[in-house]
Amino acid sequence: MTKKTHDRLFLGFLGRKSGAQGMTETLPLADARKSTLPSTSLPDPLRQRYVVRRVLGMGGFGIVLLAKDALIGRLVAVKQLYHQFEDNPQITQRLLQEARIAGQVAHPNIVSIYTVEQVGGSCCIIMEYLGGGNLGELIRATKTPMPPGTAVSLILGVLEGLKVAHALRVVHRDLKPENILFDNTGVPKISDFGLAHLPEEAGGVEDSGTKVFGTPLYMAPEQLVRDADVDGRADLFSVGVMLYETLLGQRLHLLPGVRDIGDPRALPAAGKIIAATGWPDQVPPLLRGVIERLVSPDRETRTPTAAHLIAELRPFAMPQAGELAGLGGVLHAGGGYTLSNIDILRDIIELLLTDGFLSLDERIELDRRAERLGIDEHVATQIEEEVRSQMGLPPLAALHRYRRLVESILRLGEITATDRQILDAKAAELGISEEERHSIEESCRPRRRTRRARSAGNRARPDPAPLPDPVHQIE
């Protein structure tokens, strides 16, 4: 395909849309989000085991939920189709293919699939939950171009997973920053194989010849041609676009100052963008050449395989001193972080909150761990607030309000039936679970001393550990 044909296809295909959102959404788009509100509940037989916490994301055909696996006690991500697509065999088969592909492509840089649950017409994928955000969020959070060593190190992790997928003849077709997730140690993982192509002879689902698959801003030119033979080089094009965006802090297919994709300047070929914007001095000339080859409209001139690209990029993956400040850890060339003390405490809090609450003993242990790590109480509280928000748990301010109510009741004596009704209503209002309520109420009661403690000079036991003060003042 020539560059002129690529420009025409890009402008013709995307010029029908208005606003930048259409360019970053996955195609084909469905009207599910416009026609009906998606259900955040699971089929009845699954609700007892998988307790939904919150919505993680919504796509054209389905929704991803954060849930707690009550049987094992871990957090999981649950992907299910919108109800109106449950009777569509082609869409259901594609969801099942996504699970089969990710399940077979077992690799540390690919999101793990635990199981698939089918109940009647409903189909759900139960997969690994990753609470470290995604590459798109990281690019926006840093607010400045990422140092080359850091950017390349992240992309190398993606390429390691991609290399294994391509060896199994799987083409992802929708690689973009939002589909590169991080675990809590900073390891990048490829997610969402919902649009992946697997040849029919290898067990893949037949593609509809009337649809274009992918996300416009990250699609290779050949993906815009219906019935085109798309191979792994299309994914490498997307990797090149992501690497450019990570290095420059701006999307490749949008010139500075252009906000409307109806503007004829909005979607020139990648080469035109690079020629118009140039490269920052910090990007080595050899790395620029690698990226320019990757985003070539002629796939024959691109780096041929993920393995070849890994070899080309690895020399640039040694971060220089000071490059990683503010990213929450020290990134290795292999795609992971050496945890800081803050990262370690965050992991401890997430582990302790797996069942949705902290017991009194767990609260005491958490305070001890923070002290040993040299993290002051205010910072530890901020970390816990962030983890609670991420996991869909009530904030510390809500727990403080409930605790104050319990303490005021216990000053008058034991909790009566009327008191219990008041506490029930307050807990429901604040979104506090039964387990959390029990923990707070027990911590408010005087702890009984043992016979040994009474005989040892009536030494008083230490007061139970209080809840940390919330970051924001309680009204």
Work out the burial of residue 419: count CB atoms within 10 Å of its CB; fewer than 13 is exposed, 13-18 middle, 19 or more buried: middle
What domains are there in the chain, each with its CATH number? 3-21+131-337 (1.10.510.10), 32-128 (3.30.200.20), 341-455 (no CATH)
**pLDDT for res 18:** 35
DSSP symbol at 55:
E
Is residue 99 within 8 A of residue 116, CB to CB? The reply is: yes
Residue type, 187: V
Query: CA 52, CA 453: separation in Å to the nearest integer?
Result: 44
Strands (E), 82-166: 113-119, 122-128
DSSP 416-470: -HHHHHHHHHHHHHHT--HHHHHHHHHHHSPPPPPHHHHHTTTPPPPPPPPPPPP
**pLDDT for res 31:** 42
List, run by run, the mean pLDDT of 10-residue segments along the chain (475 residues): 40 36 53 49 86 83 88 89 80 86 87 88 88 85 82 94 93 92 88 83 62 76 75 94 90 56 47 69 92 90 95 80 40 41 80 81 84 79 86 87 90 89 90 85 68 41 50 35
Q: Give Cα 304 distance to the centre of its chain.
A: 29
**Would you name the residues annotated as active-site residues?**
174
Query: CA 368, CA 89: separation in Å to the nearest integer?
Result: 54
Tokens of 19: 């606003």
What would the pLDDT profile of 115-147 be if each residue is shown by its tens digit? 998 887 788 999 999 888 889 888 887 767 888
SS3 221: helix
For 3, 16, 257, 291, 382, the CA distances from 274, given in Å and listed in that order, are 14, 25, 15, 10, 41
Strands (E), 82-222: 113-119, 122-128, 180-182, 188-190
Is residue 336 within 8 A of residue 185, CB to CB? The reply is: yes
**pLDDT for res 472:** 38
DSSP H or E run through 47? helix 44-47
